[in-house]
Chain A
Amino acid sequence: QKEVEQNSGPLSVPEGAIASLNCTYSDRGSQSFFWYRQYSGKSPELIMSIYSNGDKEDGRFTAQLNKASQYVSLLIRDSQPSDSATYLCAVIFPHNFGNEKLTFGTGTRLTIIP
């Protein structure tokens, strides 16, 4: 079982709709979770961090965390063509407590269709 799993996509969403990106992780003891956006040829950009169960909203983005189900998601409301990118889910696993290095999923490629 991969430590952090994401659907690789591509996920196509019409402009203005809600894009839903999902991620599952293997270690129930994990504490911190992150969503990054990476445009082709660029470095990752941090969009959201979350460490408590429930929802966290920032503008058009909402991160949702369910530790019991080992599931974290990212919702993008009112999707724009500029949201087209690869979205990376990242987790800090307990075995990395101390250096807090990230374990990444393989990413979901999102395309917003005008």
Chain B
Amino acid sequence: GAVVSQHPSWVICKSGTSVKIECRSLDFQATTMFWYRQFPKQSLMLMATSNEGSKATYEQGVEKDKFLINHASLTLSTLTVTSAHPEDSSFYICSARMTSPPYEQYFGPGTRLTVT
């Protein structure tokens, strides 16, 4: 299958600081990427849809000013958690979607964020 990378794989930051997470599709171009978060023993929760060259579409209840998404190229999307708080601690996972049917979606390995 296709390969999607994320960096960093884990990060610890202090409350009030910002953290940037990168998501790259390594062997295919992805016009659309998705950002999810997952709390322990819970389901994946879609945060936003990231389209190359345009503004991200956020799911209901997700603060777009807090979770900044940039999809600057066909292989790179970034998620910046601004002014992080302990409640933002979670497992953040990106995925990249193939551009042709059946539109398979491949996930990155995830980034574990801990805010102290």
Contact status B109-A43, CB under 8 Å: yes
Contact status A101-B44, CB under 8 Å: no
Q: Which chain A residues lie closer than 8 Å to B105 at the CB level?
A: 34, 46, 90, 100, 102
Q: Which chain B residues lie closer than 8 Å to A99 at the CB level?
A: 32, 49, 51, 57
Selected from B34, B46, B104, the residue in CB contact (under 8 A) with A34 is B104
Residue pairs across A and B with CB atoms within 8 Å: the count is 54
A22 CB-CB contact with B under 8 Å? no
Known: A31-B102, A32-B101, A34-B105. A44 touches B44 (CB 8 A): yes
Looking at the assembled complex, report how far the CB atom of A31 sits from the nearest CB atom of chain B, in whole angstroms: 7
A23 CB-CB contact with B under 8 Å? no
Q: Which chain B residues lie closer than 8 Å to A31 at the CB level?
A: 101-102
Looking at the assembled complex, report how far the CB atom of A104 sits from the nearest CB atom of chain B, in whole angstroms: 6
Known: A100-B32, A101-B34, A101-B49. A46 touches B104 (CB 8 A): yes
A interface residues, how many (CB within 8 angstroms): 23
Bound together, the chains give a CA A44 to CA B108 distance in angstroms of 8
Q: Which chain A residues lie closer than 8 Å to B102 at the CB level?
A: 31-32, 34, 49-51, 92
Bound together, the chains give a CA A45 to CA B108 distance in angstroms of 9
Bound together, the chains give a CA A43 to CA B103 distance in angstroms of 18
A106 CB-CB contact with B under 8 Å? yes
Looking at the assembled complex, report how far the CB atom of B71 sits from the nearest CB atom of chain A, in whole angstroms: 13
Within 8 A of B (CB), among A17-62: 31-32, 34, 36, 41-46, 49-51
Counting chain B CB atoms within 10 Å of each CB, which of A31, A45, A102, A104 scores highest?
A102
B positions within 8 Å CB-CB of A = 1, 32, 34, 43-44, 46, 49, 51, 57, 91, 93, 97, 101-110
Could you write out 21 A-B pairs with CB less than 8 Å apart? A31-B101, A31-B102, A32-B102, A41-B91, A43-B109, A44-B93, A45-B107, A51-B101, A51-B102, A88-B44, A90-B105, A92-B102, A92-B103, A99-B32, A99-B49, A99-B51, A99-B57, A100-B105, A102-B46, A102-B105, A104-B43
